[in-house]
Amino acid sequence: MEAVSKKYSRKDTGWRLFLKTIIARAYPRIIGQQREMSWVFFEILLPVLAVSAYVFVYRALNAPEEYVGFVVMGGAMTAFWLNVLWSMSSQLYWEKQQGNLSLYIMAPNSMMAILLGMAVGGMLATCLRAVAVTLFGMLVFGVRFEVVSYLQLFSVFMLTMIALYGMGMMMASSFLLFGREAWHIANLAQEPIFLASGFFFPIKSLPFWVAAGASLLPLTLGMDAMRQLVFPSGALLGFIDVATEIWILAGLSVLFIVVSKFLLAYVEKLAVREGRITESRR
């Protein structure tokens, strides 16, 4: 009995529990990708076709060659947005439909860790898609990257991911509270984000105040800054300078993570207090 208690009675809390929750939720998705390789194939093929269409349009219009690079980078970054939209934002609603949400609410784990684990689990396909689109653009369309500052580029990418996944966690609880409309909201949000974030064109092309409003989306400033850092004429087509965009992204990261924490805590409190969530609570 003493041996059993020593080996199995340890209770993980704090950061240990947080990390183990992320690993536990990521594991099924990573294994699932390996068991269904057709998913990986279509995750790579379809984005490449979409990027190719935009490239041919720009070349038919005799647009500057940098626009081809913008399209390739935008096609690569769409993978991260779609991972956030479908692997985080809509996930709690899907889990409710499958009957798993009550287990998540009762478990001692952090809801943020559960959502982050789901997103990390989908990161395998996300990274494959992003790398495939980038390599395709370099090999087929001759896109060349000239990095101005690797440190700034790394900082921009990491801050963009933190802010983006923070927004995903915030949207997850919001979508759950919307109930049956979550699926429609997720579909509705997909294409407007492509436009507002400037996935396939420089955000400077939009009117100033429209671009400023779109800057609340992490991908908008993230892609604008990365384009300025990896293309020779990127600075000329940039919305604002890179240093300012880095500070704004840092602020958005803190804002979205704090708001998501409060919203997820509210969802848990609502579930414990009323025993049900979303449109049925009347």
What is d(CA 254, CA 259) in angstroms, rounded to the nearest whole number?
Answer: 9
Kindly state whether residue 90 falls inside one of the protein's structural domains: yes
Q: Residue 122 and residue 35: Cα distance in Å, rounded?
A: 14
What gap in Å lies between CA 114 and CA 218, rounded to an integer?
22
* Residue from 108, 115, 98, 118 nearest 32 by CA: 118
Q: In terms of residue numbers, what domain contains 216?
A: 14-276
User: How many domains, the chain?
Assistant: 1
Predicted pLDDT of residue 252? 92
On whether residue 150 sits in a domain, the answer given is: yes
Tokens matching residue 57: 């349009």
Q: Is residue 1 part of a domain?
A: no
- Residue 84 is assigned to a structural domain of this protein: yes
Residue 2 maps to a domain? no
Q: Which residues of the chain have pLDDT under 70?
A: 1-10, 33-40, 179-183, 274-282
Q: Residue 152: inside a domain, yes or no?
A: yes
CA–CA dist 231, 220 (Å, integer): 17
For residue 104, what are its two tokens? 């998540």
Say if 9 falls within a structural domain: no
pLDDT one-digit tens code per residue, 168-188: 888 877 777 776 666 677 777
107 in any annotated domain: yes
